[in-house]
Every structure is written in structure tokens, then in C-alpha cells.
């Protein structure tokens, strides 16, 4: 995992603000013409848009940076989830040896429970419906530590009758995804469970809102006041305050993903 440093937050925020400011400058020119008289206003618009973007992004990433470092400092040394899952499903390998096709197509922990492109993968090929259900139940019971997991179900093309394993897996998972804060991503031959994390507590949300709300609301208020122009300063100021508070509330509501 790449280490993120404090100066990286400022660098990323500055680059993003520069990009947004540049785009805003050219959009203003394209919308109002290439007259020299428009250049000052275009520069002002670009500077305001870039500055607000920098402030918002810097505040948001700073909160995430602090919370991430605190979480990593408090985290205990844990066993690799892949090793834990392989140990948990060892009994499946033993019981699957009695299946009629096990000599030609054995279900092995070393080949069917693996990490594929960084994602925990469990392949249900070469298992029957009963054993597949047991595997899915073990994955559900391991929600707290397993993280993102991909379950290869196949498409049932080799089934003598209608597909059974994939419908069973989908039905079983749909009943628990909301309760366990999982997002179910379905593809033709597999399903992926992605943890969406727990919603922040009211206390954590309020602390985030206080930290984010001040600078973001202040930046929005000044930006919309200046963009509103003479005669509309008050209206622009009020709009900026409202939008800044709304954005701060939304940013404070993000979930911690595993």
C-alpha cells in the first residue's frame, strides 16, 4: 500500500484546484467571448472556482487522512483473511472428496480459495448444491473480517438440468446484504460482495461536520458573493452558506469501507 503523506494532501488538492480553475477560466471565455474586457472576470472566476475546490478537497482528505491513521494505529495484528478462510473451509475439501467427480475434478483449498487480482475469490465449481450453500454460509458468518470477496458460481452451462448453484447463491445473499451492509455486484459467472461500511455515529458525523463545515462554508460564501456581482452580494452570500453547509453534511456522512 502506498504511504500517503501530509504534503501529498496539499499537492493533490492544489493540482485538482488548478485543473478546475483552468477549466472554469476557459468555460467563461467560451461562454462570453474572447474580448479583452472578459479576461479579468474570467481570471477571477477561475481563481474562485480553483480556490474553493482546493479548500473542499483538502478539508475532506485531511479528515480521511486523520481517521485512517488513527484506525491503523489502533488495529491489532491479524491473520491473513485468506489463511483464515482456507482453514475455515478445510472441511469442505475433505467432504467433497466423496463426490462422484472428485477424482477427475477435485475441489481443493489451494486452487478454489485464492486471492485473484487482490480480491478474495472462492470458486464453487466442482461442489454440489449442499456444499456450496455451506461455503456461502461460512462467508456470511465471516462478514466482520473477510472484506471484499468474489464467489465464482459459473453460469450452469454444463448442468444437465436447470442451473441450481447460482440461483441458490443469489437468493441466499440477497437476504442478508442489507442487514450486513454488503453491496451485491453480479456478473455472468460470479457475484462479488463489497462491504459498504457502517454509517457514522451521530457524534462522529457532528465532529466531521464541524471540521468540514467551517472552511467549506466560508469558502462557498465568499465565492458565491463574488460571483453574484455588485448588487447581489447578500443573495450570493446566503446561497453560498446554504450550499456549503449542505456539502459539508454530505461529506461528513461517508462510510468507512474495509
What pLDDT is stored for residue 242 in this prediction?
92
What pLDDT is stored for residue 156 in this prediction?
64
Residue 118 Rama label (left phi>0; alpha psi -120 to 50; beta): left
Q: For residues 134, 139, 140 and 141, what is the CA-based torsion angle, rounded to 10 degrees?
A: 90
Distance CA 147, CA 241 (A): 39
Shared domain for 182 and 231, answered yes or no, is: no
What pLDDT is stored for residue 41 in this prediction?
82
Shared domain for 179 and 97, answered yes or no, is: yes
Shared domain for 226 and 246, answered yes or no, is: yes
Residue 115 lies in a domain: yes
Grid-cell match 437476504, residue found: 175
What pLDDT is stored for residue 210 in this prediction?
87
What pLDDT is stored for residue 169 in this prediction?
93
Query: CA angle 207-209-212, nearest 5°?
Result: 110
Q: Which domain holds residue 178?
A: 81-195
Nearest Cα neighbor of 240 from 256, 222, 258 is 222
Residue 177 lies in a domain: yes
Which domain CATH number covers 139? 3.30.1370
Shared domain for 160 and 112, answered yes or no, is: yes
Phi and psi for 142 in degrees, rounded to 5?
A: -100, 20
Residue 28 lies in a domain: yes
Tens digit of each residue's pLDDT, the chain (258 residues): 456 678 888 888 889 889 988 988 888 887 776 677 778 888 888 898 889 989 998 888 888 888 878 776 665 556 788 999 999 999 999 998 888 888 888 999 999 999 998 899 999 999 999 999 999 999 999 988 888 999 999 876 666 667 789 999 999 999 888 888 888 999 988 999 998 877 788 888 898 888 888 888 888 888 888 777 777 778 888 888 999 899 988 888 887 765
Tally of structural domains, the chain: 2
Amino acid at each position: 500500500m502506498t504511504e500517503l503523506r501530509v504534503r501529498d494532501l496539499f499537492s493533490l488538492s492544489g493540482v485538482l484546484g488548478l485543473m478546475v480553475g483552468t477549466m472554469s477560466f476557459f468555460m467563461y471565455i467560451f461562454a462570453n467571448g474572447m474580448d479583452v474586457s472578459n479576461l479579468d472576470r474570467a481570471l477571477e472566476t477561475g481563481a474562485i472556482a480553483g480556490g474553493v475546490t482546493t479548500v473542499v478537497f483538502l478539508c475532506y482528505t485531511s479528515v480521511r487522512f486523520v481517521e485512517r491513521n488513527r484506525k491503523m494505529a489502533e488495529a491489532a495484528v491479524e491473520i491473513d483473511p485468506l489463511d483464515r478462510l482456507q482453514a475455515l473451509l478445510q472441511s469442505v475439501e475433505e467432504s467433497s472428496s466423496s463426490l462422484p467427480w472428485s477424482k477427475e475434478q477435485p475441489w481443493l483449498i489451494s486452487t478454489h480459495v485464492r486471492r485473484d487480482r487482490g480480491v478474495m475469490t472462492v470458486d464453487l465449481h466442482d461442489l454440489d448444491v449442499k456444499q456450496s450453500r455451506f461455503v456461502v454460509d461460512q462467508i456470511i458468518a465471516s462478514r466482520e473480517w473477510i472484506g471484499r470477496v468474489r464467489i465464482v458460481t459459473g453460469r450452469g452451462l454444463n448442468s444437465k438440468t436447470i442451473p441450481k448453484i447460482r440461483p441458490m447463491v443469489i437468493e441466499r445473499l440477497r437476504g442478508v446484504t442489507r442487514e450486513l451492509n454488503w453491496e451485491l455486484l453480479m456478473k455472468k459467472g460470479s457475484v462479488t460482495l463489497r462491504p459498504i461500511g457502517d454509517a457514522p455515529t451521530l457524534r462522529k458525523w457532528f465532529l466531521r461536520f464541524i471540521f468540514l463545515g467551517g472552511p467549506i462554508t466560508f469558502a462557498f460564501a465568499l465565492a458565491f458573493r463574488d460571483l453574484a456581482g455588485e448588487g447581489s452580494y447578500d443573495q450570493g452570500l446566503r446561497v453560498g452558506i446554504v450550499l456549503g453547509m449542505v456539502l459539508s453534511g454530505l461529506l461528513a456522512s461517508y462510510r468507512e469501507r474495509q
